Amino acid sequence: DRLQRGIKLLAKGKPLSPVLRERLLLQRLRRPLEACLAPAQGVAATDIGQIAHELIESWPILAPLCLDEGRPWPLSWLAQVPVNQVTALLLSVSARAGAGVLRHAVLVTLVALGLARRMQASPEVMRTLAIAGLLHDVGELYVAPVLLSSPSDLSLDDWRALAVHPLTGAKVIEGIAGLGAPVALAVLQHHERH
Protein backbone atom coordinates (compact mmCIF):
# COMPACT_ATOMS: atom_id res chain seq x y z
CA ASP A 1 0.00 0.00 0.00
CA ARG A 2 2.79 2.41 0.89
CA LEU A 3 4.50 1.82 -2.47
CA GLN A 4 1.29 2.54 -4.35
CA ARG A 5 0.86 5.92 -2.64
CA GLY A 6 4.51 6.86 -2.85
CA ILE A 7 6.82 8.21 -0.20
CA LYS A 8 7.76 11.82 0.27
CA LEU A 9 11.54 11.76 0.27
CA LEU A 10 12.37 15.45 0.24
CA ALA A 11 10.33 18.55 0.99
CA LYS A 12 10.36 21.35 -1.56
CA GLY A 13 13.04 23.91 -0.76
CA LYS A 14 14.72 21.77 1.91
CA PRO A 15 18.51 21.59 1.61
CA LEU A 16 19.98 18.21 0.76
CA SER A 17 21.95 17.12 3.84
CA PRO A 18 24.30 14.13 3.84
CA VAL A 19 21.69 12.11 5.76
CA LEU A 20 18.95 12.93 3.23
CA ARG A 21 21.34 12.20 0.38
CA GLU A 22 21.99 8.70 1.75
CA ARG A 23 18.25 8.17 2.25
CA LEU A 24 17.60 9.13 -1.36
CA LEU A 25 20.33 6.81 -2.60
CA LEU A 26 18.79 3.87 -0.73
CA GLN A 27 15.30 4.37 -2.20
CA ARG A 28 14.20 2.46 -5.24
CA LEU A 29 12.33 4.93 -7.37
CA ARG A 30 9.69 3.99 -9.93
CA ARG A 31 11.12 6.59 -12.29
CA PRO A 32 14.66 7.99 -12.45
CA LEU A 33 15.13 10.95 -10.13
CA GLU A 34 15.99 13.14 -13.14
CA ALA A 35 12.50 12.49 -14.51
CA CYS A 36 10.91 13.68 -11.25
CA LEU A 37 12.56 17.12 -11.08
CA ALA A 38 12.17 20.26 -13.15
CA PRO A 39 14.28 23.42 -13.12
CA ALA A 40 12.52 26.66 -12.21
CA GLN A 41 14.32 28.56 -14.98
CA GLY A 42 15.91 25.92 -17.13
CA VAL A 43 17.84 25.97 -20.36
CA ALA A 44 15.54 26.25 -23.38
CA ALA A 45 16.07 25.57 -27.07
CA THR A 46 16.35 29.33 -27.66
CA ASP A 47 19.27 29.50 -25.18
CA ILE A 48 21.06 26.74 -27.05
CA GLY A 49 20.46 28.48 -30.39
CA GLN A 50 21.76 31.78 -29.02
CA ILE A 51 24.95 30.15 -27.73
CA ALA A 52 25.44 28.39 -31.08
CA HIS A 53 25.01 31.65 -32.96
CA GLU A 54 27.54 33.39 -30.68
CA LEU A 55 30.06 30.55 -31.12
CA ILE A 56 29.73 30.57 -34.92
CA GLU A 57 30.25 34.35 -34.99
CA SER A 58 33.19 34.35 -32.57
CA TRP A 59 35.07 31.30 -33.89
CA PRO A 60 35.98 31.81 -37.57
CA ILE A 61 37.14 28.18 -37.79
CA LEU A 62 33.46 27.12 -37.47
CA ALA A 63 32.41 29.05 -40.58
CA PRO A 64 33.31 26.31 -43.11
CA LEU A 65 31.40 23.74 -41.03
CA CYS A 66 28.41 25.81 -39.95
CA LEU A 67 27.67 28.49 -42.55
CA ASP A 68 25.80 27.94 -45.79
CA GLU A 69 25.51 31.08 -47.92
CA GLY A 70 26.24 33.09 -44.78
CA ARG A 71 23.46 31.45 -42.76
CA PRO A 72 24.17 29.20 -39.74
CA TRP A 73 22.37 26.01 -40.86
CA PRO A 74 22.97 23.96 -37.62
CA LEU A 75 20.52 26.20 -35.77
CA SER A 76 17.62 24.36 -37.42
CA TRP A 77 18.91 21.03 -36.06
CA LEU A 78 19.43 22.51 -32.60
CA ALA A 79 15.87 23.86 -32.64
CA GLN A 80 14.64 20.27 -33.12
CA VAL A 81 16.39 18.94 -30.01
CA PRO A 82 13.68 17.78 -27.60
CA VAL A 83 14.23 20.02 -24.59
CA ASN A 84 11.72 18.27 -22.35
CA GLN A 85 11.66 18.36 -18.55
CA VAL A 86 14.55 15.92 -18.18
CA THR A 87 16.87 17.34 -20.85
CA ALA A 88 16.15 20.86 -19.58
CA LEU A 89 17.11 19.74 -16.07
CA LEU A 90 20.33 18.06 -17.21
CA LEU A 91 21.36 20.99 -19.42
CA SER A 92 20.47 23.51 -16.70
CA VAL A 93 22.49 21.70 -14.04
CA SER A 94 25.37 21.37 -16.52
CA ALA A 95 25.20 25.08 -17.29
CA ARG A 96 25.37 25.91 -13.60
CA ALA A 97 28.14 23.39 -12.92
CA GLY A 98 30.87 25.63 -14.29
CA ALA A 99 31.79 28.39 -16.64
CA GLY A 100 31.66 27.29 -20.23
CA VAL A 101 30.17 23.81 -19.69
CA LEU A 102 27.07 24.49 -21.78
CA ARG A 103 29.12 26.42 -24.36
CA HIS A 104 31.42 23.39 -24.64
CA ALA A 105 28.43 21.11 -25.21
CA VAL A 106 27.07 23.39 -27.94
CA LEU A 107 30.52 23.65 -29.56
CA VAL A 108 30.87 19.85 -29.63
CA THR A 109 27.40 19.67 -31.17
CA LEU A 110 28.26 22.20 -33.88
CA VAL A 111 31.45 20.35 -34.83
CA ALA A 112 29.66 16.97 -34.85
CA LEU A 113 26.84 18.32 -37.02
CA GLY A 114 29.27 20.02 -39.37
CA LEU A 115 31.32 16.88 -39.88
CA ALA A 116 28.20 14.73 -40.28
CA ARG A 117 26.83 17.08 -42.91
CA ARG A 118 30.10 16.86 -44.83
CA MET A 119 29.75 13.08 -44.69
CA GLN A 120 26.16 13.43 -46.00
CA ALA A 121 24.67 11.81 -42.90
CA SER A 122 21.00 10.95 -42.79
CA PRO A 123 18.50 13.19 -40.96
CA GLU A 124 18.24 10.54 -38.21
CA VAL A 125 22.02 10.62 -37.65
CA MET A 126 21.95 14.43 -37.59
CA ARG A 127 19.16 14.36 -34.97
CA THR A 128 21.09 11.83 -32.87
CA LEU A 129 24.27 13.92 -33.04
CA ALA A 130 22.45 17.12 -32.09
CA ILE A 131 21.07 15.52 -28.93
CA ALA A 132 24.18 13.49 -28.08
CA GLY A 133 26.48 16.47 -28.58
CA LEU A 134 24.52 18.54 -26.08
CA LEU A 135 24.35 15.72 -23.53
CA HIS A 136 27.73 14.05 -24.12
CA ASP A 137 29.19 15.09 -20.75
CA VAL A 138 26.04 14.63 -18.66
CA GLY A 139 27.84 11.83 -16.80
CA GLU A 140 30.15 14.45 -15.30
CA LEU A 141 27.19 15.63 -13.19
CA TYR A 142 27.62 12.40 -11.21
CA VAL A 143 31.35 12.89 -10.60
CA ALA A 144 32.67 14.67 -7.50
CA PRO A 145 33.26 18.31 -8.51
CA VAL A 146 36.76 18.30 -7.01
CA LEU A 147 37.80 15.70 -9.62
CA LEU A 148 36.62 17.95 -12.44
CA SER A 149 38.44 21.01 -11.13
CA SER A 150 41.93 19.51 -10.91
CA PRO A 151 42.26 16.77 -13.54
CA SER A 152 46.07 16.93 -13.57
CA ASP A 153 46.38 16.01 -9.88
CA LEU A 154 44.29 12.83 -9.94
CA SER A 155 45.23 9.56 -8.31
CA LEU A 156 44.51 6.38 -10.26
CA ASP A 157 41.27 5.82 -8.32
CA ASP A 158 40.19 9.42 -8.93
CA TRP A 159 40.97 9.11 -12.64
CA ARG A 160 38.86 5.94 -12.81
CA ALA A 161 35.94 7.76 -11.14
CA LEU A 162 36.21 10.53 -13.73
CA ALA A 163 36.82 8.24 -16.71
CA VAL A 164 33.55 6.38 -16.12
CA HIS A 165 31.45 9.49 -16.91
CA PRO A 166 30.58 8.33 -20.47
CA LEU A 167 29.10 5.10 -19.07
CA THR A 168 27.21 7.02 -16.38
CA GLY A 169 25.89 9.47 -18.96
CA ALA A 170 24.74 6.65 -21.24
CA LYS A 171 22.89 4.99 -18.35
CA VAL A 172 21.13 8.26 -17.51
CA ILE A 173 20.16 8.82 -21.14
CA GLU A 174 18.84 5.26 -21.49
CA GLY A 175 16.27 6.16 -18.84
CA ILE A 176 15.02 9.26 -20.64
CA ALA A 177 11.99 8.60 -22.79
CA GLY A 178 12.25 9.82 -26.36
CA LEU A 179 16.03 10.07 -26.70
CA GLY A 180 16.72 6.56 -27.90
CA ALA A 181 19.51 4.01 -27.81
CA PRO A 182 21.62 5.71 -30.55
CA VAL A 183 21.96 8.84 -28.38
CA ALA A 184 23.00 6.74 -25.37
CA LEU A 185 25.53 4.87 -27.54
CA ALA A 186 27.03 8.12 -28.87
CA VAL A 187 27.38 9.44 -25.31
CA LEU A 188 28.94 6.14 -24.21
CA GLN A 189 31.52 6.27 -27.00
CA HIS A 190 32.37 9.96 -26.98
CA HIS A 191 35.90 9.38 -25.63
CA GLU A 192 36.64 6.41 -27.86
CA ARG A 193 39.35 6.80 -30.46
CA HIS A 194 38.49 4.59 -33.42
| pLDDT at residue number 1 | 41
3-class SS of residue 176: coil
pLDDT in tens, the chain (194 residues): 444 555 666 677 777 777 777 776 676 666 666 666 666 777 777 888 899 999 999 999 998 999 988 888 988 888 888 777 778 888 888 888 776 889 999 999 999 999 999 999 999 999 999 999 999 999 988 888 778 777 677 888 888 888 889 999 999 888 776 788 999 999 999 988 66
- Give the separation between CA 131 and CA 27, rounded to whole angstroms: 30
- Between the two ends of the chain, the Cα-to-Cα distance in Å is 51
Distance, CA of 36 to CA of 86 (rounded, Å): 8
pLDDT score for 2: 47
CA distances from 104 to 94, 155, 164 (A): 10, 25, 19
- Measure CA 141 to chain center: 9
The continuous run of DSSP H or E covering 37 comes out as none
pLDDT of residue 151: 66
Q: State residue 103 phi and psi, 5-degree precision.
A: -60, -40
Q: Which residue from 89, 92, 114, 108 is spatially nearest to 36, judged by alpha carbons?
A: 89
